[in-house]
Amino acid sequence: MKITDIKLGMLRVPLKTPFKTALRTVNQVEDVVVVIETDTGHKGYGEAPPTAVITGDTHGSIIEAIRTLIRPKLIGMKVENLNDILATISQSAVRNSSAKAAVEIAVYDLFAQFYDAPLYKILGGGEPTLSTDITISVDYIDKMVADSVVAVERGFESLKIKVGKDIGVDIERVKAIYGAVEGRALLRLDANQGWTPKEAVYAIRTLEDAGIKLELVEQPVKAADLAGMKYVTERVYTPVMADESGFGPREVIELIQMRAADIINIKLMKTGGIANAMKIADICGVYDMQCMIGCMLETSISVSAAAHLAVAKANIITKVDLDGPSLCQFNPVKGAIEFDDSEIRISDAPGLGITQIDGLEMLP
Ligand SMILES: C[C@H](N)C(=O)N[C@H](CCC(=O)O)C(=O)O
Ligand SMILES: [Mg+2]
């Protein structure tokens, strides 16, 4: 199965409600879609969101990297020579992790189709179901409480509460939400780098002292401040999870060796795709460290790849934050994965199982 072309498109889907974090506010998913064509007629799909505040990637940088640095090298390569293709993508440029992830996901989609098996079986097997949390955007306290109650009533058992805007209000936000949903859902906080190390320790200890049990706190301090991550991790009982601080395997090894986090959030858009994500899961397995599988603002194209990976590594990837498609007003992707509120069911069709993408605008 030879790669004959790599085409790009744009997929736009409005969100149900604005997505607000300490880093940004977004109203719609607007992602670059990769379609890899082959001489057998099979197509592989991938997706890259422009999360400039986290990955540095924009629409322009994603499109340019794929068109000029990756596409010319991949055309003519055989899908069954997966490791050659992975090395070629990885060596095509430094960084550009979202562009690399989108292409790699499409290649894995084809590789699994070549063997006529769903991707998770190629990655190691497992049960094709997952349960995800849902994000509660940082907002006025009353709005966050109302959103949390609705999410719990829809059956979500884990809520990812965005904080990191103002330490005093953040503490009140979490207390109010905990009071409203206590015993009905686990609370994960994500500060998206919004606190200083001292603020983070103060906030988490204040919540712990108030008897509030948090499942974890994600990325309390600036991404590059590993000493700050360690400072917080050492001083609180609540597990601290690294997100923006850990992109690839090397950074994760550093985080582990420094003991700067208790959990790692693996996202394909940070790792540059599935191969590095598997390496990170294996590294964490060696150190008995748990992982979360996370996503950016993505539809079911790339979220389905993350879901396949998660079920294949379910012994290490024990936490799931794959709510991108749930935040969208509609699902433009047919096949792949089915969402029933918190429950995700992976298709048993070959590859990612994508059969149709509505509203995909191909780029010239
Ligand atoms: C969508 C997912 N639940 C999430 O919260 N991801 C964010 C980053 C997403 C973004 O800003 O696009 C995270 O874990 O920090
Ligand atoms: Mg995060």
Q: State the catalytic residue, choosing from 267, 270, 313, 319.
A: 267
319 is catalytic: no
Is 297 known to sit in a ligand binding site?
Answer: yes
Residue type, 230: K
CA of 100 from ligand 1 middle (Å) equals: 19
213 is catalytic: no
- The ipTM (two decimal places) reads 0.99
Which domains are seen in the chain, by residue range?
3-116 (3.30.390.10), 121-352 (3.20.20.120)
**pLDDT attached to residue 224:** 98
Is 73 known to sit in a ligand binding site?
Answer: no
**pLDDT attached to residue 144:** 98
Q: State the catalytic residue, choosing from 20, 100, 121, 162.
A: 162
**pLDDT attached to residue 359:** 98
| Rounded Cα distance, 262 and 259, in Å | 7
Q: Position of tokens 């940082």?
A: 138
CA of 217 from ligand 1 middle (Å) equals: 14
Residue nearest atom 7 in ligand 1 by C-alpha distance: 296
**pLDDT attached to residue 5:** 98
> Is 0.90 surpassed by the pTM of this model?
yes
pLDDT tens string for the chain (364 positions)?
999 999 999 999 999 999 999 999 999 999 999 999 999 999 999 999 999 999 999 999 999 999 999 999 999 999 999 999 999 999 999 999 999 999 999 999 999 999 999 999 999 999 999 999 999 999 999 999 999 999 999 999 999 999 999 999 999 999 999 999 999 999 999 999 999 999 999 999 999 999 999 999 999 999 999 999 999 999 999 999 999 999 999 999 999 999 999 999 999 999 999 999 999 999 999 999 999 999 999 999 999 999 999 999 999 999 999 999 999 999 999 999 999 999 999 999 999 999 999 999 999 9
**pLDDT attached to residue 12:** 98
Among 126, 63, 143, which residue's Cα sits nearest to residue 316? 126
Residue type, 1: M
| Rounded Cα distance, 51 and 53, in Å | 6
Burial of 338 (0-12, 13-18, 19+ CB in 10 A): middle
Phi–psi pair at 172, nearest 5 degrees: -65, -35
**pLDDT attached to residue 252:** 98
**pLDDT attached to residue 87:** 98
CA of 338 from ligand 1 middle (Å) equals: 20
